[in-house]
Structure 1
Amino acid sequence: MSKGSREVMGSRWQFMFGLGEVFSIVVITVMYMTGMDHAVLWRVALAIGAIPAFILLLARLDLPETPLSLIQRGKFTKAKEVSLRLFDEPLDMLPNEDVVIERPKVGDFLRVTWADRTRRRATIFGWISNACQGAEFTAFGFYLPVILVSAGVGVVGGGAAANITGTNFVTAGIYVLATISGLVAPIMITKIGHRGVSMWGFGLAFVGLLIGAAALGANIQWLIVLGACVLMWGHYWAASNGMTVVSMVAPARFRATASGFGYVFVKAASFFGAFVFPLMTASWGKVGATVAVSVLSLIGLLSAKFILPELYGYVDREGALEASELKA
């Protein structure tokens, strides 16, 4: 895809993430409302996840690698075949046989990244962003239904089952708003750039968490929901481009390494949120724990402001050179 279009497409994953959240909440809530035995319900809910996984598996079977990726791994025969099929370009300058090329090493990736100021700053921001949004979501977002139930949000006075159903639909509504946010974020990248989207995203998440903390302390239910809405809108903007940034500034031969390395920070932070947030809540209460999580959003905001260079439309010089050499 052309420059600019690639990063917009790459940032649309949060929209799909939101659709999955809403679908899951609605399906499980409907099963819950039917009175399905809970021992069966969680197993069915878990098994449903195999359906999209199987569809993606089938779709992936015939999805070709890019010619440049194949060339950099020495698979010249396949590269010529794919290039001819996709671009009607036979790549006659390449030999008709494969060669063994040494695989890129993580050390090489880090050395090349650190040698260029733009790559270095963008990658550091991407790691910080991934860590902050991962912990931010897992800490507050993952436990959002528990927080809503404990605060009485969605309670309709019809017993435990009705209360849980009400809370689930409130949660689904919040994620519908988050899904819209995920759809808007890539559009805004074209208008205010990656820095703008990240700053607004982490800024709104920070404000939403502070609103949530104040509302939890005062037990104002509508304000809790408002805080959660502001948080989720901001979070889906903040999370939209962290992986995109670390991938787009990496040379093509290191792009997979950059992507995988960047995602480590998401999952490490998710571990923190899932296991540490309950301990923080037990020690400091819901208000104190929520304020503590807001510090992560503030760190993300400051890193976007002072570390991230504007990257919209960025083209890696090494990748551009490689592409021009191929055309020649």
Structure 2
Amino acid sequence: MAPHNARGSLNIMFQLAVTIGILAAQLINYGTQYLRPYGWRVSLAMGAVPALLLTFGAIILPDTPNSLVLRGHKEEGRRVLQRVRGTSHVDVEFEDICEAVNVASTIKNPYRTILRRRYWPQLSITMLIPIFQQLTGINAIMFYAPQLFQATGASTNAALMASVVTGCVNVISTIVAIVAVDKLGRKFLFIQGGAQMIACEIAVGILIHFNFMNPGNTSMSAAIVALICIYVAGFAWSWGPLGWLVPSEIQPLETRAAGMGIATLCNFLFTFLIGQIFLTMLCSLKFGTFFLFAGFVLLMTAFVIFCVPETKGVPIEELNEVIMQKHWLWSRIVKDAPKGDNNVVITSTGGKGVV
């Protein structure tokens, strides 16, 4: 539903909501630590509040124009498009939607379709970006921030407060992403955030090494907290929101639902795996854990530089052309690929062309 010139900012509102939820949970945990012995029950029960809000919000949520047209409600789809665009002059865009829906409706099995060679670029990007997002180590650090801060010598109360501080940094930095993503572009934020995270993780690893050798150094503990905050900021305006934005942009309409399902699966699977093994890694590798994550960030930053096309300001209907026909690597991979069921590509003017 977002216009292409503000698609990035509006999409990142999702990630902003996630970071606000994380901060709220951290504040609740900080406050309920004093409600012994039932504080953890209160903290857990508070999760019902956003669930109720989400349920009631879904009742008034409008369907997208694409969905309405796909289900045969063309006039209602046009009305919704006019409402969200704030103008009645939506003929060109609505024609693009209708053409894209016609193409998508020819796809019988999107999960089988997305495995075809012509969709390998989108599938590769859609899978690797969510996996790489978790290999930054962000969720491990956010999950276990209190334990990590306690390991540097902080008290339980101070560790929970430090977690709240990182949560605030997370929210503020996501707002920075909303402002910057449609001005600076996706690749710039990916690369800048990656460089920032690499530097911070290496520095944190070095400081934790010396902190273990000389425990109780408050200045060193404060420096570790500060560096983790800078690391969280780098993630929050790059790989955090863009890990969801780019996969949703990169998929054509006919495979978008399947693609986002795969992206979500990869994200949650690696969230689970990293969450399960992080404490074991920290006990075994100690400071080397952060060097390992820094190595992953270096690898994924190189992947973005060489393999991820810039999608800033490109209409959804034209992204397929940008990926398949203009990218130095993906154009070679899809060259001479079988056309399968679908040999139509949608242009920005509502016309058709043979792929």
In 1, distance between residues paired with 2:278 and 2:156?
22
Residue in 2 that maps onto 1:10: 11
Residue in 2 that maps onto 1:255: 256
1:63-74 aligned within 5 A: 63-72=61-70
Would the aligned equivalents of 1:209 and 1:231 in 2 still touch at CA under 8 Å? yes
In 2, distance between residues paired with 1:66 and 1:253?
15
1:48-87 aligned within 5 A: 48-72=46-70, 75-76=71-72, 78-84=73-79, 86-87=81-82
Would the aligned equivalents of 1:104 and 1:254 in 2 still touch at CA under 8 Å? no
**SS of residue in 2 equivalent to 1:240:** helix
2:183 aligned with 1:191? yes
In 1, distance between residues paired with 2:109 and 2:179?
34
Residue in 1 that maps onto 2:129: 129
Task: Name the aligned partner's letter for residue 83 of structure 1.
Answer: R
Would the aligned equivalents of 2:19 and 2:171 in 1 still touch at CA under 8 Å? yes
Residue in 1 that maps onto 2:312: 312
1:171-250 aligned within 5 A: 171-219=163-211, 220-236=220-236, 237-250=238-251
Residue in 1 that maps onto 2:296: 296
2:90 aligned with 1:105? no
In 1, distance between residues paired with 2:174 and 2:63?
27
Residues 1:164 and 1:79: Cα distance change in structure 2 (over 3 Å): farther
Would the aligned equivalents of 1:14 and 1:183 in 2 still touch at CA under 8 Å? no
2:354 aligned with 1:324? no
Task: Name the aligned partner's letter for residue 275 of structure 2.
Answer: A
Would the aligned equivalents of 2:131 and 2:267 in 1 still touch at CA under 8 Å? yes
**SS of residue in 2 equivalent to 1:12:** helix
1:275-286 aligned within 5 A: 275-285=276-286
2:170 aligned with 1:165? no
Task: Name the aligned partner's letter for residue 67 of structure 1.
Answer: P
1:265-276 aligned within 5 A: 265-276=266-277
Task: Name the aligned partner's letter for residue 105 of structure 1.
Answer: P
Residue in 2 that maps onto 1:97: none
- Report deviation, 1:126: 4.2
Task: Name the aligned partner's letter for residue 111 of structure 2.
Answer: V
Would the aligned equivalents of 1:12 and 1:186 in 2 still touch at CA under 8 Å? yes
Task: Name the aligned partner's letter for residue 184 of structure 1.
Answer: V
2:44 aligned with 1:41? no
- Report deviation, 1:108: 0.7
Residue in 1 that maps onto 2:25: 24
Count of matched residue pairs: 299
In 2, distance between residues paired with 1:28 and 1:283?
28
Residues 1:227 and 1:126: Cα distance change in structure 2 (over 3 Å): farther
- Report deviation, 1:210: 1.0
Task: Name the aligned partner's letter for residue 199 of structure 2.
Answer: V
Would the aligned equivalents of 2:65 and 2:81 in 1 still touch at CA under 8 Å? no
- Report deviation, 1:84: 3.1
**TM-score, reference length from structure 1:** 0.82
Would the aligned equivalents of 2:66 and 2:77 in 1 still touch at CA under 8 Å? no
In 2, distance between residues paired with 1:194 and 1:102?
30
Residues 1:145 and 1:103: Cα distance change in structure 2 (over 3 Å): farther
CA RMSD of aligned residues (A): 2.7
Would the aligned equivalents of 2:130 and 2:264 in 1 still touch at CA under 8 Å? yes
Residue in 2 that maps onto 1:141: 142
In 2, distance between residues paired with 1:31 and 1:43?
9
Larger deviation: 248-257 or 53-62? Answer: 248-257
1:130-171 per-residue CA deviation (whole Å, 9 max, x = no partner) reads 112223212333222111011113xxxxxxxxx322211111
2:118 aligned with 1:115? yes
In 1, distance between residues paired with 2:46 and 2:163?
20
Would the aligned equivalents of 1:151 and 1:216 in 2 still touch at CA under 8 Å? yes
- Report deviation, 1:310: 1.2
- Report deviation, 1:110: 3.2
Would the aligned equivalents of 1:7 and 1:248 in 2 still touch at CA under 8 Å? no
> Which consecutive unaligned segments of at least 5 residues does structure 1 have?
95-99, 154-162
In 2, distance between residues paired with 1:101 and 1:69?
15
**TM-score, reference length from structure 2:** 0.76
Residues 1:110 and 1:290: Cα distance change in structure 2 (over 3 Å): same
Residues 1:63 and 1:14: Cα distance change in structure 2 (over 3 Å): closer
Residues 1:240 and 1:20: Cα distance change in structure 2 (over 3 Å): same
- Report deviation, 1:322: 8.4
In 2, distance between residues paired with 1:269 and 1:215?
27
Would the aligned equivalents of 1:69 and 1:253 in 2 still touch at CA under 8 Å? no
1:208-264 per-residue CA deviation (whole Å, 9 max, x = no partner) reads 111111111111212211220121011112121122111112222322222111122
> Which consecutive unaligned segments of at least 5 residues does structure 2 have?
83-87, 99-104, 212-219, 321-344
Task: Name the aligned partner's letter for residue 301 of structure 2.
Answer: L
Would the aligned equivalents of 2:129 and 2:247 in 1 still touch at CA under 8 Å? no
